[in-house]
Amino acid sequence: MSPRVALIGATGHGLWHLRIIEPLHAAGRLELVALCDVKPVRLERAGSLDASRPRPAPFTDGVPVYTDYRTMLTAERPDVVVICTPPHTHLRIATDALRAGCDVLLEKPPTPTLSEFETLTGVVEQTGGLVQVGFQALGSPALHTLLNAVQSGHLGPVTGVSAAGTRQRLDAYYARSHWAGKRTVDGHPSADGVLANVFAHAVMNCLAVVAATGGDPTPAVIEAELYRCRDTIEVDDTAALRLIPRSGPPVLVAVSLCAPEDIDGEVIVHTADGPAELQYLTDRLRWPGDAVAREVPGRRSLLENLLEHRADKAVPLMAPLDRCEPFTHWLDAMRRMPLPALIPEKHWVSSGDGPDRRIDLADINATVRAAAQRLTTFSDLGVAWAVPPHRLD
């Protein structure tokens, strides 16, 4: 019998999870038994979620929709629950799902604090349930190839790991939900911003490279330059993060959501022979000395991997909860950082009105790339708006 799967958080980013669920449902590898969201679930009734495919009646027809996940767990008794809800709700919902006998695919970050992470780990130990965390970039075959090359010593000693990434987010992005752009929600710690959300995968991938060197990626020293161009948000929209792990090479992540052009998540492994570069969104990899990056095919979804592991424990989970502990150490430390510094308006240009307003930070793409290539922060580069990093040991 196919595993019974339910989705909690079936609007917004939950639609992305439905696109992952659909072909697995069609192939009989799972049965979608319920959707749940506190908001009205309005699915396209005219055809498939994937516009590139033929448009039969949508596969969600007849699937019951709930507004209370506890009622859904009791009524439907799913085997697997996909949780795509705000970070401050993860511990409560995942705990209830695990105690109801479900295995869980939990959106990243697993929890916004280390104490909640430890509580969730205890629930996993008590129930024997599985938790796969939604760091889908860990399913990149190009990342696996890179990690194997690092672990085997093929690349030689790794002297540092860095990441660069930029996006553009309009004002509407920070109005998308009640928790967007907030550090706390209803008194509970949350997690949003360029580092904790959009480019969390860049941080996680860098930590995975440190682990592949044989090091301990748990941060020993954290230096963070956190910035914002909007005084209406509490989180970073531009950041340079330097992590010194307990052992292994240092990590530098430079990112922004105020860029005129996208840099699609590049991870750089620094070696004596030159950099190896991973484009984790497109599964492309460039070795030292190569002129161009080449695609590495074979990406699998984390949900598919979870189903395979349930059927055969010899298949390892790609993003198990314990693999995310170093990331959560860093995320927990970020709560002790001051509010991100405001970048003076003279350094950026605003265009558009209302929810369509955008902010472009001068020379940010070149600045982000330079920081990642040199393994240094914005202030060390002498950027006019940069201030010295806040340090936690």
- Return the pLDDT at 42: 74
- Return the pLDDT at 41: 84
The pLDDT confidence band at residue 283, using thresholds 50, 70 and 90, is: very high
Q: For residue 240, is pLDDT > 70? A: yes
Q: For residue 301, is pLDDT > 60? A: yes
Stated pTM of the model:
0.94
What is the CATH number that goes with domain 4-136? 3.40.50.720
State the average pLDDT over residues 317-344.
96
* pLDDT one-digit tens code per residue, 47-72: 444 544 444 447 788 899 999 999 99
Domain boundaries of the chain, sorted by first residue: 4-136, 137-299+321-392
- Return the pLDDT at 46: 35
Mean pLDDT, all residues of the chain = 94
- Return the pLDDT at 44: 53
Q: For residue 74, is pLDDT > 90? A: yes
What is the CATH number that goes with domain 137-299+321-392? 3.30.360.10
The pLDDT confidence band at residue 279, using thresholds 50, 70 and 90, is: very high
For residue 295, CA distances in Å to 89, 143, 149, 298, 372 come to 37, 11, 16, 10, 22
* pLDDT one-digit tens code per residue, 343-366: 999 999 999 999 999 999 999 999
* pLDDT one-digit tens code per residue, 156-173: 999 999 999 999 999 999
